[in-house]
Structure 1
Amino acid sequence: MPSQPRWGQPSLQQPPAGLMWTLALGGIFLAAVEACVFCRFPDRELSGRLARLCSQMEVQWKDCEVSWTFSAFALDDASLNKITEKTHRVLRVMEIKGSLYSLPSYWQWLRKTKLREYNREALCPPSCRGSTILYNCSTCQGFEVYCWPRKRCFPGSHDLWEARILLLFVCGTALLLGVPSLAVE
């Protein structure tokens, strides 16, 4: 796949099969060079700020820089902007207060809760119709991917096709029981 500018138009090619499996599993974190929060707003300088905070915390949190990798996730444009802005604000509060001890819990919350939630929102209806463009969190490149099926997004719900089949079955049964009932009368 040809390389593309980081901020340019996303590639509209199908992603490699491995990317979809990685998105689907959601819990396998591969080594990566970047995190989603570094894909947008370079003027916020999140990478440098986070590196400074990690260097101040290396005694308490040895794996600080390793925790930046979010390669199992891909987000749409709006979610990517939300995550980046939220991280900017959280880092800003930590820098102002000088309280670095909440950084590990923020990263854990981001990884275990928010990124999974935004990933699901990006691939499920109503925000996703047919296909959508997601940005891989390790490369910041855009890929067009197919939306997840409704059954995967909402496992307990019935889709319209199942409702039609059920309705036809009930109507057919009523007719089959109605004809002998009418003949007996």
Structure 2
Amino acid sequence: MEERNCMAPLRVILVLTLCGGVRSCVFCSLKYKNVENRFHQLCSGYMKTYNKTRCSKYMENTDFDDFAFHENKVIQITEKTHRVFRVLEINRSLADLPQYWDWLFEKKLVEYTHQVLCPPTCRGFVRTVNCTTCQREKVDCWDFKRCYPEKLSLQESVYLLIIISVACFAIGTFSFFSEYYFIYRHEK
């Protein structure tokens, strides 16, 4: 019995080492919610229950430099994650942990970053929380093409309008001369 109790801290250290590469904006705020330790505990339980070596695609060596949020968004993300973890802990449904964590990184964090760094909300630069260091820093806004690759930029829109205007002028000129030639010339 005593040996098991002595091994418990060793297991926690081992799990933190396995999951240790995880850094995220989710862990930057509301430290009293203890989201980071709870994630590691849930992750360890998931790996043990399902005999997996990791509990998410986004475990170690994930580049968080692409993510940037306002402080209130960081608090919102942390609060949402706290609630999800609470439901997982109450229901003891660890199977949903990878789905939530992957969804968070693939969808929500990308969406929130897009909202912060893209026009019209961002002009020039914005002060955000760096997800790697959890510090506030100045970040340049993304250009229009990066934010909206399917839409035309201002320069492309001007070129398109010029081409359409020239085409309309050419069609009008052709129409005028053809009408003059066929109507007025044949009347004489």
Please say whether Structure 1 and Structure 2 have the same fold, judged by a TM-score greater than 0.5.
yes
Q: Which residue of 2 aligns with 1:143?
A: 137
Letter of the aligned partner of 2:33 in structure 1?
R
Residue 107 of structure 1 and its aligned partner are, at CA, apart by 1.2
After the TM superposition, which of the residue ranges 164-173 and 94-103 deviates more from structure 2?
Answer: 164-173
Q: Does 1:52 align with 2:41?
A: yes
After the TM superposition, which of the residue ranges 88-97 and 69-78 deviates more from structure 2?
Answer: 69-78
Letter of the aligned partner of 2:59 in structure 1?
S
Q: Does 1:41 align with 2:30?
A: yes
Q: Does 1:74 align with 2:74?
A: no
Counterparts of residues 91-170 of structure 1 (less than 5 Å): 91-170=85-164
- Gapped regions of structure 2 (runs ≥ 5): 1-19, 181-188
Residue number among 72, 90, 114 corresponding to 2:84 in the alignment: 90
Residue 160 of structure 1 and its aligned partner are, at CA, apart by 2.9
Larger Cα-atom Rg: 2
Equivalent-residue separation in structure 2 for 1:179 and 1:57 (angstroms): 73
Residue 70 of structure 1 and its aligned partner are, at CA, apart by 4.5
Aligned residues between the structures: 155
After the TM superposition, which of the residue ranges 45-54 and 81-90 deviates more from structure 2?
Answer: 45-54
Aligned sequence identity (%)? 38
Question: Structure 1 pair 105/137, CA: closer, same or farther in 2 (3 Å)?
Answer: same
Higher helix share: 2
Letter of the aligned partner of 2:68 in structure 1?
L
After the TM superposition, which of the residue ranges 94-103 and 168-177 deviates more from structure 2?
Answer: 168-177
- Gapped regions of structure 1 (runs ≥ 5): 1-30
Question: Structure 1 pair 68/105, CA: closer, same or farther in 2 (3 Å)?
Answer: farther
Give the SS at the match of 2:59: helix
Residue 103 of structure 1 and its aligned partner are, at CA, apart by 0.9
Give the SS at the match of 1:108: helix
Kindly report the root-mean-square deviation, in angstroms, between the aligned alpha carbons of the 2 structures: 3.0
Equivalent-residue separation in structure 1 for 2:170 and 2:45 (angstroms): 77
Q: Which residue of 2 aligns with 1:62?
A: 53
Residue pair 1:129, 1:147 contacting (<8 A) in 2 also? yes
Instruction: Identify which of structures 1 and 2 has the higher relative contact order when contacts are C-alpha pairs closer than 8 Å and 6+ apart.
Output: 1
